[in-house]
Amino acid sequence: MFSQLKSMSVKVQASTSFSKAHKAVVIPVTKDNLNANAWTQVSQETRTRISNFLTSDFVSQDREKLSWVQGVGEEGNTHYLLVQVGAEKDLTKDSVRNAFGEACKWVSARGFSSVAFLIGESSAMLTHAKAAVEGALLSSYRFNNYLGDEKLGQTLKEMNFYIASEDVAHAVSNSIQDVMTVIDSVFMARDWSNQPTNVLGPDLYTKQVQDLAKQYNLSCTVLDEQELIKRGMNLVIAVGKASVERPRVIHLEYKPAGAAKTKIALVGKGVMYDTGGLSLKPSASMMGMKMDMSGSACVVATILAAAKLQLPVHIHVVTPVVENAVAGNATRPGDIVKAKNGKCVEIENTDAEGRLILADSLCYAEELGVDYIIDVATLTGACLVALGDEVAAILSSDETMKNTLLECSKKVGEKFWPLPLEENYKKLLKSPAADLKNVGGRNAGTITAALFLKEFVEKAKWAHLDIAGPSDTEKELPICPKGGTGFSTATLVEFLRTLA
């Protein structure tokens, strides 16, 4: 299920090592230079054919972004994929990452087992060489566990990146293991999000996390239902009590070998399936609810990456794992439940369950004495309405923490947008019968959900990531097929690096 990249050979080297034996070669072309003369590794005859092809109207007019050209002479069995990446001045990490991801998909679609990427037509391409490698690797992910058609699988077994600058090639080569570790963790999060709940319920997920914790030498504690009752974590129980597979909270801990400057808790929403409870979702809205545990998948994948990278940060992961099911003992709208911190919550809508399990988990996380807490959740449909399916929301009690997370997200190519913790909206959570209620109405739904969570964090610097939109995709993306995206994993790892 995990470690898809382990079966793939990935090499980064200077372009002087390029071998003409490759059957598939990807060449990025900028609008500033629509010829192939820079690629001295390719024969003059083939370069002439490529240059002539690039002057075609449908290429020069941007009507065709990717084009196949057959080699000439001794390179007659080589297929060159020309990828237009735009004007050199407009190149960014994101655009390069996406261009190489799209190219990788085209090569795989033709069934090639090996591909060579030539990087270095321009100084801008060299600047973003690492992003090019990331894009190709990210797009190689496939989830075809239940597909009988072998053509839909990943055919590539070998990727070779040839970089025109020896210094850049050396730098990227030195970082390739770190890059692959992070991407493998993204794939792990995608795998968990994509698994159907009849296969991956709370019990099996917990066992898999326990097994991985042992493999990575992490401390792992599972708080079962009796322990949750003992600790007053009644909101977790309220959400999960109608399921055959009982509610629990998983606590992972990673301690670096040396002294750690910082202690952080990552809290992930782990609703393995969400029916909405007695506030039942419409049938169409239930499709895709297996991915309501994506926040949990991302934080678990993040701590595993941190352990493998041996980051000098003390990390806790706290993830409540439940199924929001329907049964005779299900929580009813109007029920009042006491949270771990003693606050009583009127549950006005049982489909606003994520904030309930996160509330108890945030209290538990803060008791660990951490400096920072980040929670990650597919929390509100309002976030999807506000920001669409490619941008996540970030709300934070600490401006510096928020800005650092935003910078980390830009570096790895994940899109976040800051929303305010508008205190005036807190009145929308007032309940006549309890300390607060779990929903604040239709307006500002993402903000009121975050304000609810803020009630359960007292001292730690805290950020809330609502990944409801980009946690999965219903369309093919350049660096991800349809399904779970593993969104926020790379950002979290990058943030942990800043704390080292």
Q: Which positions are catalytic?
A: 281, 355
Distance CA 479, CA 105 (A): 9
Which of 264, 321, 276 lies closest to 296, judged by CA? 321
Chain mean position to CA 442: 28
| β-bridge mates for residue 337, sequence order | 345
